[in-house]
Chains A and B, each alone.
Chain A
Amino acid sequence: MNKMSREKQDFKVIGTRVKRPDGIDKVTGRAQYGADLVVPGMLTGAVLRSPHAHAKINAIDTSEAMALPGVKAIVTNADFAALDDEFLLDVADNCLAREKALYHGHAVAAVAAKDAQTAKAALKLIKVDYTPLPHVTDVDDAMESDAPVVQAGRKQENVKGDYSDNVTMYCEFGHGDLDAGFAKADHVIERSFKTAATHQGYIEPHACLASMTSDGKADLWCCTQGQYFVRTLCAGILGMEASQLRVTASEIGGGFGGKTTCFIEPVALALSRKAGRPVKLVMTRDEVFRATGPTVSSSSDVKIGMTKDGRITAAYAALRYQGGAFPCETVAMGAQSAFAAYDLDAVKTEGWNALTNRPKEAAYRAPGAPMAVYAVESVVDELTQHFGLDPLDVRLKNAADAGTLSSYGPTFEAIGLVATLEAAQKHPHYSAPLGENQGRGVSCGFWFNFGGNTCVSLNINDDGTVGITEGNPDIGGSRASISMMAAEELGIPYEQVRTIVADTSSLGYNDVTDGSRVTFAVGLATIEAARDAIKKMCSRVAKIWEIDPDAVIWENGQAKPSGPNAGDFEPMSLAEIAALSSETGGPIAGHYEVNADGAGVSFGVHLADVEVDPETGATKVLRYTAFQDAGKAVHPDYVEGQMQGGSAQGIGWALNEEYIYDDDGMLLNAGFLDYRVPVASDLPSIEPVILEIPNPGHPYGVRGVGETSIVPPLAALSNAVSRAAGVRLHELPMSPPKILKAITSKG
């Protein structure tokens, strides 16, 4: 357990808005992203993808393509190692299809050639003999007992009932007597909802450069959220030892969960192994949409009972998620998150996952939570409308707090939901007047956060500066926050610390940058590494002063005698100690390795004002304010950026974004022209309001902040639209035609 090892309130560096260490590189174009690396002798890779939504692969004939001048290697799934591990096998089969193409765009074979034109020409010469099979893309259809089966034999032991083999898992959470609870209600509302699959929408496509030599050693450069996990997956799929594969993460142009796995990296390595030359593989935007993970789409039923004074008496949700052609358990996260904001005597959530002929789901910011919370918060809002109650009053009346038995099992320790709701209630936004066709929506949101495996080295340089080596790609400002925490602990200026992201051969294992874990877990490890270095520096100084090490303390970046009895010595600064390191025992470094726990859950509350055009059904977001408990905000700019970014993505999810399939299971909108993410002109200035309720599991009280902000926008927007347009939609996205249809139907 990682207790707050030292209460610290008098921060000098933490909480300031220091300069970004990557700012200059990124604005000048000097930052090296996944596709930027070029090496001598490099080949260009390209991937052949299935034109079918579901098809048996009878044979793949590569002979004609291989004979094309300039083609150096062609690989299929047969070039991967024979795998027993089911998880690894799924990743491999998603990278290159094995016996069946499971979705439109599923990779089937790949080519490495002297240039892109040759690679593209070779793809056309690969002959794949397919037998098309019936397909299914809708979650409810996929669960029907007579649905086309995507993969047989993947059902967990927990699935009961007359479902198709596509249903791979079932989960259930809750407590209390639902029937008794609903009997106490003055009104019960039951509604069904649907949400579309949405893509993480990162601007940088997946890209990598693989180089394997004839002795089996390999280097891989790629854009990823976790170079160590890429190593684990690729080494397994290629049948290599982890020590022989060094993975280096490039700068990353967005991930949001979508770069926590592999899509092209094992393919590039297999091509390089076969060709004996480096191979670069870069996805097109079309490929990113077709074959990398969108989030799940969902279908759900929610039933909530409430008394006329706004007390929820019972709550139930049934969640059905599809995560594409491979099993996933994202619905369990949704089922646990659905009612987490509420203190309930009777609550139950059930969840099912179903396979469909769609790309394999990848994590997306708070995976599983936004769609569940959307359905719940919509029904809560409808109940407040029914009784004419204030939406924030109702949420405060039912809010979970320290000591509440959560809907997913544990009793909450200190949480910030009530403070967040109260801040929203007091904010001028909540009382601002609204005009015609305008409405205001409210929603709570919740996410777990976690810590995970973390390893940090902190080196005291002989000039008194500090170098930190950590192992997580910097997605949201972690290099700055890690340097800040080291500077705070060591008592030196932020500018004297530089943090770099290590490759997999330079530092011990680090989990993926996900789960809002890095500022929490790597920060915790950095603080402890700094304390380790301080202990060593105090020990060196004790030797110089010829006193007991316990008689030396560290204050404001200096070693000092602990008191008059320790002796009368001039304090020694970090720089002075560093300069003498050779004479006093050699280099000074601090290290810390941990599997961090105690990340602390996080709550957010969002307010959204919209105007709906009754003639077109178009929604304009007029004002948006996000309130979130950040524990301690290490660098407020970055925290605000996370809150704004999650809000913007949630707004897109609510209003426009969706994967659209035709009757043949073909994805119709694999590009940003047809898959409509919000652009700057679509959004108002999103105001972030940070609340700081310290997390007792971190030395400085830090909580993860990266994911919670995508949870509330879906319902906040839907609730705002329902009040602006006078109609409530039960399906996302709320695109103009859907809103117009609802308005027209109302008459």
Chain B
Amino acid sequence: MVQVKLWGNLRDATDGQDVVEVEAGNFKQLLDRLSEKYPGLKPQIERGVSLALDGRIYREAWFTEIQPDSEVVLMPYMKGG
């Protein structure tokens, strides 16, 4: 199981939890499981999210492997100028 830290307002979609657990070995599986387990997260995931794995931020990269002890943080999709 991977622990995923969510940003604050996403708690509304996870019964108030700001850390949730899903079974996932990579980012794609993680996003799929999150959408299945917490349908309220789906609109945000579809709009776009970034993921931070052990402090490093990824905008896409579905197949990035996640270790069970990795720090995984869901973040808004990064934008720049």
Contact = CB atoms under 8 A, between A and B. Distances in A.
Interface of A: 1, 156-158, 170-174, 200, 256-258, 260, 329-330, 332-333, 336, 348, 350, 362-367, 408-413, 447-452, 514-517, 595, 597-601, 697, 707
Given A156-B43, A173-B7, A599 B55 contact: no
18 contacts: A170-B9, A171-B76, A258-B81, A364-B81, A366-B80, A366-B81, A409-B7, A409-B73, A409-B74, A410-B55, A410-B75, A411-B54, A448-B80, A449-B80, A450-B78, A450-B80, A515-B78, A597-B61
Interface in B42-81: 43-44, 47, 52, 54-61, 64, 71, 73-81
Contacts of A258: 81
Given A257-B81, A707-B80, 16 more contacts: A156-B47, A158-B9, A172-B7, A329-B77, A330-B79, A336-B76, A363-B81, A367-B81, A409-B5, A410-B55, A411-B54, A411-B55, A413-B55, A451-B59, A516-B80, A600-B56
Contacts of A514: 79-81
B12 interface: yes
Contact of B8 (A157, A173, A363): A173
A449 B75 CA distance: 14
Contacts of A367: 79-81
Contact of B7 (A363, A408, A601): A408
Interface residues of B, number: 30
Interface in B1-50: 5, 7-10, 12, 40, 43-44, 47
A258 B76 CA distance: 21
Nearest to A368: B79
Contacts of A363: 79-81
A19 B45 CA distance: 45
Nearest to B9: A172
A170 B52 CA distance: 21
A158 B57 contact: no
Contacts of A408: 7, 75
Given A158-B12, A173-B7, A411-B71, A333 B57 contact: no
B57 A410 contact: yes
Nearest to A412: B55
Interface of B: 5, 7-10, 12, 40, 43-44, 47, 52, 54-61, 64, 71, 73-81
B56 A413 contact: yes
Given A412-B55, A413-B55, A448-B57, A172 B8 contact: yes
A599 B57 CA distance: 8
Contacts of B58: 597-598
Nearest to A512: B80
Interface of B is mostly: mixed
Given A1-B56, A408-B75, A409-B52, A707 B81 contact: yes
Contacts of A173: 7-8
B80 A410 contact: no
Most interface-central of B52, B59, B75 (chain A CB within 10 A): B59
Contacts of A450: 57, 59, 78, 80
B30 to A, nearest CB: 15
Contacts of B60: 595, 597
A235 B79 CA distance: 22
A364 B8 CA distance: 26
Nearest to A704: B80
A320 B9 CA distance: 16
B61 A171 contact: no
Question: 3 closest A-B pairs (Cβ-Cβ)?
Answer: A257-B81, A515-B80, A172-B8
A450 B60 CA distance: 11
A172 B78 CA distance: 15
Contact of A448 (B10, B43, B78): B78
Contacts of A336: 75-76
Most interface-central of A200, A329, A410 (chain B CB within 10 A): A410
A447 B79 CA distance: 11
Contacts of B52: 409-410
B43 A157 contact: yes
Contact of B81 (A256, A332, A599): A256
B56 A697 contact: yes
Nearest to B5: A409
Contacts of B40: 157
A156 to B, nearest CB: 7
Contacts of A174: 8
Contacts of A412: 55
Nearest to B12: A158
Nearest to B42: A157
A411 B8 CA distance: 16
B81 A171 contact: no
Nearest to B18: A175
A410 B64 CA distance: 17
A50 B11 CA distance: 42
Contact of B57 (A171, A200, A260, A597): A597
Contacts of A411: 54-55, 71
B56 A598 contact: yes
A697 B52 CA distance: 13
B55 A260 contact: no
Contacts of B61: 1, 595, 597
Nearest to A599: B57
Given A1-B64, A595-B61, A333 B76 contact: yes
A7 B68 CA distance: 28
Contacts of A451: 59
A515 B78 CA distance: 8
A701 to B, nearest CB: 14
A598 B56 CA distance: 6
